[in-house]
Structure 1
Amino acid sequence: MKLIGPPLQTILQRVTECPADFLDEPRIGSQGRLEVASLVGDCLRLAGYRASAMELKGFGSRCKNADRKHLQFVALCVWLLDAKWFRQAQLEGFSLLNLLQQDMAEFAQSSHVDKCLHDAERREEFSRYVLARLGFRPEGESESQASDRLSALSSIERQRLLKESQEAERRAREIREALARKAAAESADKWTRE
């Protein structure tokens, strides 16, 4: 987040103004209307990057394994990236492809598009997440401020911490059970010797 991006309020406003066309059901097989691969191809083309058919395959309507939530976030992200500031920033096409393929897939695991549109904290998390993945921080914030705020809002971080906590509890339970078995075995040995 070394680079200074646009004011956060500008991005938040852009997300809330996402038109209904971008929020249509993504086309997967014969279901849905929104051709996300076309949106991605256009977005990348504007950044000077010609995506191959293979690179666009995961966004396509023929990909039966496509994730609906991921494609919804991709569409919302493409809308955000079409803002004047992002177009003028001359972002690298490969970075945009990575953002749309991998980062939006990761984000989709912990949130829903509706929450980003209607919940102020989720909208801010989405906006900061996109900025951070592109190496930017909101205008007027230091790197540490931007990083701290994203961490505080991050549902991805909350899920990671919850998973770590559950894993630690599982390990502690296994240790307690092993100690109880060992104590029972030692007690049984003691009784058999006497």
Structure 2
Amino acid sequence: MTPGPSLERLMRRLAETPGEFLGEPRIGAVGTVATAALVGDLLRGAGIAIDRQMLARFEGDRPAERNRLMLVAVTVWLLADDWVGTPSRDGLLGLLDDTVGELAATGHAQAFVEDAERREELARTVLAALELLPEGEDARQAADRLSAVSATERQRLIRASREAEERARLVREALIRKAAEESADKYTRE
């Protein structure tokens, strides 16, 4: 990982996201923000060749995609700055498609602009996806802080905890059944 910009710079940029980037994403014939066009402009600006198929994943056709597309637009705003450099095509598309999709499932896009903790989460997530470190942090510090503010990490830990509890419950039930069977066998023999 290489050094990146200061976290404060990114959080300030997020806080200053223009209202146009938070507008209603175009889904079918409804909405004003053409998210695919924003992504296309960002990719062209980074010197990345684009095609129609690549941008299709940023065109909404279902209302359920609204929040994801809004967060993609906010992320494009964050990335449309001189600190970005020249990210790889796959890294940038993975960030905008997969990573932002996961983040969008944890809260409303507007929160990533208005709430300081969510701004930090988005800024740190973007830096990590681009393999950059926040200014003044080493890899361990950056990873620790990202896991501390990451709602997706919290959800993963909650899921893992629930799965572990379920496995423990199944083991307990199996032990109780086995003890009951052994007790019944012992009673039958006597």
Normalised by the length of structure 1, the TM-score is 0.90
Task: Please name the residue that 2:87 is paired with.
Answer: 91
Q: How does 1:135-146 map to 2 (within 5 A)?
A: 135-146=131-142
Gaps of 5+ in 2: none
1:133 is aligned to 2:109: no
Kindly indicate whether the alpha-carbon contact (under 8 Å) linking 2:68 and 2:109 is maintained by their aligned counterparts in 1: no
RMSD between aligned alpha carbons?
Answer: 1.7
Identity among equivalent pairs (%): 49
How far, CA to CA, are the matches of 1:179 and 1:147 in structure 2?
40
State the alpha-carbon separation in 2 of the partners of residues 31 and 179 from structure 1: 58
Q: CA deviation at 1:91?
A: 2.6
Deviation at 1:60, TM superposition (A): 1.1
In structure 1, the partner of 2:75 is 77
Give the distance between the partners of 2:101 and 2:138, measured in 1 at CA. 27
Match of 2:120 in 1: 124
State the AA in 2 paired with 1:57. Answer: A
Q: Distance in 2 between matches of 1:4 and 1:112?
A: 29
- How many angstroms does 1:73 deviate by? 1.4
Q: Which whole-Å CA distance do the structure 2 matches of 1:66 and 1:52 have between them?
A: 25
Question: Which residue does the alignment assign to 2:165?
Answer: 169
Aligned-partner residue type, residue 80 of structure 1: L
1:125-157 per-position Cα deviation (integer Å, ceiling 9, x unaligned): 110110111011111222222222112111111
In 1, distance between residues paired with 2:53 and 2:63? Answer: 15
Residue 50 in structure 1 maps to residue 46 in structure 2: no
My pick for the range that moved more, 174-183 or 107-116, is 107-116
Question: Hey, which bits of structure 1, 4+ residues long, moved more than 6 A?
Answer: none
Q: Distance in 2 between matches of 1:31 and 1:169?
A: 45
* Corresponding residue of 2:103: 107
Q: What displacement does 1:193 show?
A: 2.9
Count residues with an aligned counterpart: 190
1:23 aligns with 2:19: no
Gaps of 5+ in 1: none
SS in structure 2 at match of 1:169 = helix
Q: Tell me the TM-score normalised to structure 2 length.
A: 0.91
List per-residue Cα deviations over 1:41-67 (Å, max 9, x = no partner). Answer: 111111111221111111114x34872
Q: Look up the equivalent residue of 1:78 and give its one-letter code.
A: V
Residues in 2 aligned to 1:85 and 1:120: alpha-carbon distance in whole angstroms: 20
Q: 3-state SS of the aligned residue for 2:136?
A: coil
